[in-house]
Chain A
C-alpha cells in the first residue's frame, strides 16, 4: 500500500519522461505534495515559487499560453483559498491547460487541524465553469488520473489524499475515463455513490449490508464534474434509493452534484454522507473520520435511512 501523494509524485515523473511540455510548480510544500520528485528528475522544468500560491497559479497561466502543460501543487485548502482568483480569472475563464493539484484533501492532514483541512475545496472548484474536478479513490486511480488529465486538453482540479488509503483497484484493474463513473459492485436495493477514500468505505459498507440481506450498488464517481448523469439516473432508477459519500462538505460537492441530476431527472430519496458544514480539528485521521461521520457505519446507517424513506413513499 502506497500513500496517494507518493503515487502521484512518481507518476508525474513518468509523465515528465515522455512529455517535455510538462512543467511542475510548487509553493514551498514540494516535499509534502511530492512534486519534489519531479523537481529532482527535471530541475529545469520545476519551479518552486516560495510561499506564494496566487503567484504560482498565475504563472501557470503564462506557461499554458506558451503551450506548456503546467501542474501546480499545494495543499488543497490553499489551492482553493489562496490560488482561486488566478484559477478562476485566468485558468478556468480562458480554458487554459493547467492541472491544478490539491494535496492533503479532506481530513488527511489530520494533526495540523481545522485550519489546514480541506472540506470546501470541492464545492469551490466545482462551481468554476470549464474546470473539471477529479477525486481518485486510491494510488492506482491517482496514477491513472495523472495520465488522463495530462492527455485531456483543458483545466482540471485533481484532489489527492495525504494518507495511505486502502486500495480499491489494482495495477491491471483500474479503468479511468474522465467523466465516467465506475460501477464497482452491482446491486438492486440501494445505490452508494462515493469518491476518494470513501469508495473503500462504501465497499466495506456493502459487505455489512450484504450480511443483512441488502445488496448495494457501489459506484466510484471519481469525476465530480462533469458528473456521469447517465449512470446516476440509471442506477437510481434501478434501486430507487441513493447514498452519496465524500470526504468534503455536503454543501456543493459530490452529493450536491448527484442531487442536481436526480432532482430534475429521477427524484428518489437521498442521504448525504459528508462533512456537515463544520470545520475540522486536530487528531488521528481515522478518529477524525469517525467523529465527523465519515466511517463505514455512517454509510450503513445512511443506507438504512434511505431505504426506509423509499418504503414509506
Chain B
C-alpha cells in the first residue's frame, strides 16, 4: 500500500514550509548550515509525518521511535521538523544559535524537547543507535531507531565499526539513512575522499541495502516500508539527494555548507521556493 494522493499533497506542503522555515531562519540569524539541511527535508518529513511513532505531548515516552541526527549540523531541518510537529512554538526557530536559547547550533537533548541524542561531532550516531536498538531488544520494546548519516560523514572510520556491530547483532530494528548528496565541506566526496560503491560496501557488511531518490516522497515511503519488513538484518537506505535542494544557487555547492545568506540571495531563495517576502 503506497501513499494516497492526499497524503502526498499533505507531505509536499510540509516540505515546502520546512524549506521556507530553514531559509527564513538562517537568513535572520546569519549563521548555520543550509546545504545539508535542505538536502534532508523529504527524509525528515517522511520520518516524522509518516513513519515514526512519536508524540510531542510525550517526548520522553519509552515506547517512542528514536531518531539520531548523526550529521548534527543539519540542526535547522531537525528543528523545523520538530516545530512543525508541535514540540515547541515555531517562533523559537528565530532564536537559533542565540545566547541562552534552546536551539543550539547543534542538536542538544538537554535543552530541546524531541531530541533523542545531542550530536555535532560526526561519526558517532550509528554506534549510539546500536546501543538503543540493542536496548529495545533487551526491554522487549518494538520501537525503531533511525540514524541519519551524511555521506562525507561515512569517511569517519567509526561508522564501519558500527556497521559491523549492527550486522553481528542482526538489528532489524535499526535503520540507517545515508543523505547521499555527494558533497561535504571542502568539496565533493569524489574530490575529497571517494566513497566507492556504497551499495557493495554495505552489502559486504551484511546489511539490507535499499536505494531511492531522497527527494521523492513516494519512493521514500516505499523504502521505509521495505526496511521495516526486513526481519533478518539492519537496513541502510541510500537516499540520493542534492545538497541545497530547492534553492538553485545552493544546489550541489559545498560553499553553501555553512554560509550566511545575503539579502539578495534570501529574496531569490524565497521566490524560488514559491513564497513571498
Contact = CB atoms under 8 A, between A and B. Distances in A.
Interface string A5-31: 000000000000000000000101111
Nearest to B73: A112
Interface stretch (A166-174, A280-288, A297-305): A280-288
B192 A115 contact: no
A185 interface: no
Contact of B97 (A77, A82, A111): A111
B104 A114 contact: yes
A52 B157 contact: yes
Interface in B41-89: 72
Interface residues of B, number: 31
A287 B121 CA distance: 24
Q: Which applies to chain B's interface (DSSP): helix, strand, loop or mixed? A: loop
A116 B258 CA distance: 14
Contacts of A116: 105-106, 120-121
Contacts of A26: 186
Chain A contact-residue range equals: 20 to 34
B104 A82 contact: no
B99 interface: yes
A51 B184 contact: yes
B104 A115 contact: yes
A52 B118 CA distance: 20
A303 B268 CA distance: 53
Contacts of B98: 282-284
The 8 residue pairs across chains A and B that have the minimum distance between CB atoms: A115-B120, A50-B193, A283-B99, A113-B105, A50-B155, A112-B105, A113-B104, A111-B31
Interface of B: 31-32, 72, 97-101, 103-106, 108, 118-123, 152-153, 155-157, 184-187, 189, 192-193
27 contacts: A28-B152, A28-B155, A28-B185, A28-B192, A29-B185, A29-B186, A31-B185, A32-B185, A48-B187, A48-B193, A49-B155, A50-B152, A77-B121, A82-B121, A112-B120, A114-B108, A115-B104, A115-B105, A115-B106, A115-B108, A116-B106, A116-B120, A282-B99, A282-B104, A283-B99, A287-B99, A288-B99
